[in-house]
């Protein structure tokens, strides 16, 4: 973890409340080609849109976990190298966020990715508390085009318990031939969303605009999010 003195300086320079966001991104072999290309372009749009909103740039913090295999990504240089699973290093303010250029490989260990994301969020909240920083309910945004090949059911139970306790706001997005039944079991009452075609840019614009609305609210206030025109609720059995 970065030196505690560095964290204290970080929060002294920017004492704004924080909204931590973990992007869980499927980078397995099935994402090769157009999908990984559009995902990377969407991340670049996400960076631009967050930085364009002065308040969101100060209040939103971003971490990226990719799976295929599971890696926590460095998101301050644009390189996106794998780093250790440590909330002090994984999260950066939107002002410093630089979208990585991701490549596809491997399988789909979705359960491990979810557990890694939850761990990072718990650690980050503890850092906020230690530094007397207020924070919004954390977001976790999962994007996948497949189905998990690991023990995702235990991860789903852990996720649902965390969400029931208002510890995270979870969104599951299915791309192409994603297993929407699995995503439905992860998502609970909110239900998963199905991406329309390759509308990654529109999805990340919606995400950045939604986070901007959250950042303009008071901590613990309810926020009405804009309609997700990039996707639809899956109603298949």
Q: Can you give the CATH number for the domain in which 34 is found?
A: 3.40.50.410
pLDDT at 231: 86
Q: Maximum CA pair distance of the chain?
A: 52
SS3 (DSSP) at 71 = strand
Structure tokens at 170: 């979870």
- Separation between Cα atoms, residue 88 and residue 178, nearest integer Å: 32
Q: How many domains does the structure of the chain reveal?
A: 1
Q: Is residue 34 part of a domain?
A: yes
Whole-number Cα distances in Å, 151 to 27, 104, 114, 148, 226: 18, 21, 11, 8, 34
pLDDT in tens, 97-147: 999 999 999 999 999 999 999 999 999 999 999 999 999 999 999 999 999
* Confidence band, pLDDT 50/70/90 cuts, at residue 10: confident
More confident residue, 170 or 233: 170
The strand pairing partners of 25, in sequence order, are 66, 143
* Confidence band, pLDDT 50/70/90 cuts, at residue 233: low
In terms of residue numbers, what domain contains 66? 4-219
Q: What percent of the chain has pLDDT over 70?
A: 95
193-195/92-93 β-pairing? unpaired
Tell me the average pLDDT across 11-32.
96
Q: Is residue 237 part of a domain?
A: no
Q: Is residue 236 part of a domain?
A: no
Question: Over 50: is that where the pLDDT of 236 sits?
Answer: no
Exposed, middle or buried by CB within 10 Å (0-12, 13-18, 19+), for 206? buried
């Amino acid at each position: 973890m970065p030196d505690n003195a560095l964290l204290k300086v970080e929060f002294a320079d920017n004492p704004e409340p924080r909204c931590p966001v973990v992007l869980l991104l499927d980078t397995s072999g099935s994402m090769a080609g157009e999908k990984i290309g559009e995902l990377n372009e969407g991340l670049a749009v996400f960076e631009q849109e967050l930085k364009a909103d002065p308040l969101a740039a100060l209040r939103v913090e971003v971490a990226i976990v990719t799976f295929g295999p599971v890696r926590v990504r460095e998101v301050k240089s644009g390189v996106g190298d794998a780093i250790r699973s440590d909330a002090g290093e994984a999260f950066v303010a939107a002002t410093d966020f630089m979208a990585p250029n991701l490549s596809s490989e491997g399988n789909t260990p979705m359960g491990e990715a979810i557990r890694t994301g939850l761990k990072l969020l718990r650690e980050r909240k503890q850092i906020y508390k230690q530094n007397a920083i207020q924070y919004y309910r954390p977001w976790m945004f999962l994007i996948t085009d497949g189905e998990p090949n690991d023990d995702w059911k235990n991860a789903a139970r852990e996720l649902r318990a965390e969400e029931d306790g208002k510890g995270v706001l979870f969104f599951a997005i299915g791309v192409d031939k994603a297993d929407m039944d699995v995503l439905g079991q992860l998502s609970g009452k909110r239900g998963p969303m199905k991406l329309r075609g390759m509308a990654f840019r529109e999805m990340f614009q919606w995400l950045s605009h939604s986070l901007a609305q959250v950042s303009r609210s008071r901590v613990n206030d309810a926020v009405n999010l804009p309609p997700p025109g990039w996707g639809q609720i899956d109603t298949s059995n």
